[in-house]
């Protein structure tokens, strides 16, 4: 698809990967990029159009879809680690929060914007997924489950929005250098790398981004027998 002159919306565009997505869209010639964020005052880039959106709030989701009726690209980037739910003990609050934001939030925004994209010729819906969509994570099982659910949703959306000509793109990455992964000391790719690979996928109508070697390895390993060794 053509990025030049397009109108896009990115959830969670005030920081991290979302900010990089928004900047990359502008750098590739987008005419307007809505930064759909919980706190519009947190959007520092004056080239973005701030829009109030907590993806877990149905009224705000509906209002955003009404306010941004000109978009042809929607990037579901907003996400949370949902920390605090350990595998073998403790409560489930963190895991439930991860499901609320990463899974139900993405679903709600996708539903609300599907008719907008249809009216604007189909366009594209991009979901920010993870290596953890495919590999269970004993250190953060709730987050991984939410990303697996979000991947399933992405696949359903790809099929369900095919007839309206919407390109649905799943973006998978291992650790990316943002606040969300600040707790872990591991190799990380940059948010800008993820964003640039995604712009390339959009430009070339490709439905999937595998942003790093670990993610490519994880996907290739899906046909292998299960192992008890933690994925690296």
Ligand X SMILES: NC(=O)c1ccc[n+]([C@@H]2O[C@H](COP(=O)([O-])OP(=O)(O)OC[C@H]3O[C@@H](n4cnc5c(N)ncnc54)[C@H](OP(=O)(O)O)[C@@H]3O)[C@@H](O)[C@H]2O)c1
By CB under 6 A, name the binding residues for ligand X. 11-12, 14-18, 37-39, 42, 53-56, 77-80, 101-102, 105, 128, 130, 173, 175-176, 178-181
Say if CB 214 and CB 132 are below 8 A apart.
no
Query: Which C-beta is closer to ligand X: that of 55 or that of 116?
Result: 55
Query: Which C-beta is closer to ligand X: that of 175 or that of 219?
Result: 175
**Residue 200 in 3-state DSSP?**
helix
Query: Which value, to the nearest 10 degrees, does the dihedral of the CA atoms of residues 24, 7, 74, 94 take?
Result: 60
Question: Smallest distance, Å, CB 123 to ligand X?
Answer: 20
Question: Smallest distance, Å, CB 65 to ligand X?
Answer: 14
Question: Smallest distance, Å, CB 199 to ligand X?
Answer: 16
Other C-beta atoms closer than 10 Å to the C-beta of 20 total 23
Query: Which C-beta is closer to ligand X: that of 32 or that of 38?
Result: 38
Question: Smallest distance, Å, CB 173 to ligand X?
Answer: 4
Between CA 130 and CA 110 the distance in angstroms is 18
CA-based nearest residue to 154, from 172, 141, 136: 172
- Most distant CA pair in the chain: distance in Å? 51
Query: Which C-beta is closer to ligand X: that of 16 or that of 50?
Result: 16
Query: Which C-beta is closer to ligand X: that of 12 or that of 142?
Result: 12
Between CA 182 and CA 195 the distance in angstroms is 19
**Residue 10 in 3-state DSSP?**
strand
Question: Smallest distance, Å, CB 70 to ligand X?
Answer: 21
Query: Which C-beta is closer to ligand X: that of 60 or that of 72?
Result: 60
Question: Smallest distance, Å, CB 26 to ligand X?
Answer: 17
């Amino acid at each position: 698809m053509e990025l030049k002159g397009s109108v896009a919306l990115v959830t969670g565009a005030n920081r991290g990967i979302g900010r990089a997505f928004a900047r990359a869209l502008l750098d590739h010639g987008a005419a307007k990029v809505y930064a759909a964020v919980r706190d519009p005052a947190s959007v520092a880039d004056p080239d973005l159009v701030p829009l109030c959106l907590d993806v877990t709030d149905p009224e705000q989701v509906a209002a955003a879809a009404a306010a941004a009726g000109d978009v042809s690209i929607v990037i579901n980037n907003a996400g949370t680690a949902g920390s605090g739910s350990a595998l073998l003990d403790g409560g489930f609050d963190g895991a439930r929060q991860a499901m609320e934001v990463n899974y139900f939030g993405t679903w709600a925004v996708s539903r609300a914007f599907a008719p907008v994209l249809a009216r604007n010729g189909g366009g594209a819906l991009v979901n920010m997924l993870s290596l953890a969509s495919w590999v269970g994570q004993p250190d953060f099982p709730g987050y991984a489950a939410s990303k697996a659910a979000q991947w399933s949703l992405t696949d359903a959306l790809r099929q369900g929005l095919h007839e309206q000509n919407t390109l649905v793109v799943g973006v998978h990455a291992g650790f990316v250098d943002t606040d969300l992964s600040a707790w872990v000391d591991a190799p990380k790719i940059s948010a800008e790398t993820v964003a640039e690979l995604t712009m390339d996928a959009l430009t070339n109508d490709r439905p999937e981004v595998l942003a790093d070697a670990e993610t490519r390895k994880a996907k290739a390993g899906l046909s292998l027998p299960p192992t008890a060794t933690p994925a690296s």
